[in-house]
Amino acid sequence: MLKLILSIFVAFAAAYALTPVMMKVAVRVGAVDQPNERKVHKGIITRIGGVAIYGGFVVGVLLMRELNLQVWGLLISGTMVMVLGLVDDMRGISPKVKLLGQIAAALVLVYFGVQVKFVTNPFTGGILPLNIFSIPLTVFWVIGMSNAVNLIDGLDGLAAGVSAIAAATLAVVAWTQGHYTTVYLALFLAAASLGFLRFNFHPAKLFMGDCGSLFLGYILGALAVMGLSKGATVISLFIPVVILGIPILDTSFAIIRRFFNNRPIFQADKGHLHHRLLEMGLSHKQTVLVIYAITFFLGSSAVLLTMLTTAQSVVILIGISVMILIGADRIGIITGQKLSGRIHGNKAKNYIGG
């Protein structure tokens, strides 16, 4: 236990110490973020701070010295994703090349034994082997999570804070299921994210960049596969989805919204949850804190689900789903339209996110 606590502290300290270093490096290599119509910051801010998160996580993992094949696969493939994002931050790469790189990293992870081999039948509770679908489902999951966290990285401290809360929740749930390796890894990721967050919370001194957001999402997705998708209960199928609810739902709603508005799925817009909360009149910091609270609520719900019977868990899942859909509809993140009168009390009019 002492060794674990020391490793967690070192992961935090390493990220905390590396972050100001990356600020200086970013200036020298020209890795800066320019403001535009989609972004809320005003001036030029350095990015590639995600390298500090990566460094803190890796240092924590190596200190434990209990590295099995799956952990090595996580480190190697996670490094590939981080480097891919770093190149994109510094030079820019096409979406196709980025996707191919993510697929390659995910296949490395699978090669080292991290994959979803079965899911539970939500009707009978029995085990459904995935067979030939195991590899593509695993690749889709980790790539999807990687890009989902990348999409929510739109406000100071948002992606880092949400990822830290999600990682801590993953650790708690993995601990209840006896997956202690996942517990350690998730705590290292949370500690590294918090070390970086000291400099990234509003007003941010630097951004994590794609090297940080892609890495965070990738590791969260991989940890969910390693520790939370192996249970033989019905509800175990939904636990990772609840824990990682904010990035998953925000991405899903973005796809639906762009489809309804006849816009390309990969075309950026200002209809994400954080954009809508800002439009409701919340400040930058208030918006981030509200999303933290939602993430904490979802995480707490996930922990609760592991302690209840299947019937009770299903009732709670239905309740959570209804609340999410009602809330998403009211603030307009599903269709991209809302009644401004709901927020400002003005004459109702339609709004389509730009």
Could you tell me which residues are annotated as the binding site for Mg(2+)?
A: 150, 210
CB 281 within 8 Å of CB 269: no
3-state helix, strand, coil in the chain (%, to 5): 70, 5, 30
Binding site: which residues?
150, 210
| Side-chain-side CA neighbours of residue 166 (13 Å) | 32
Which residues, in sequence order, are CB contacts of 187 under 8 Å at separation 6+? 4, 8, 11, 60, 167, 168, 171
Integer Cα distance of 211 and 243 in angstroms: 22
- Reported as half-sphere exposure (CB side, CA atoms, 13 A), residue 128 has a value of 13
Give the pairing of strands 127-129 and 118-120: antiparallel
> Per the structure block, which two tokens stand in for 341?
């009168």
Q: Would you tell me the crossing angle of helices 95-111 and 134-152 to the nearest 10 degrees?
A: 130
Torsion of CA 123, 327, 247, 47, to 10 degrees: 180
Pick the closest to residue 72 from 104, 98, 111 (CA basis): 111
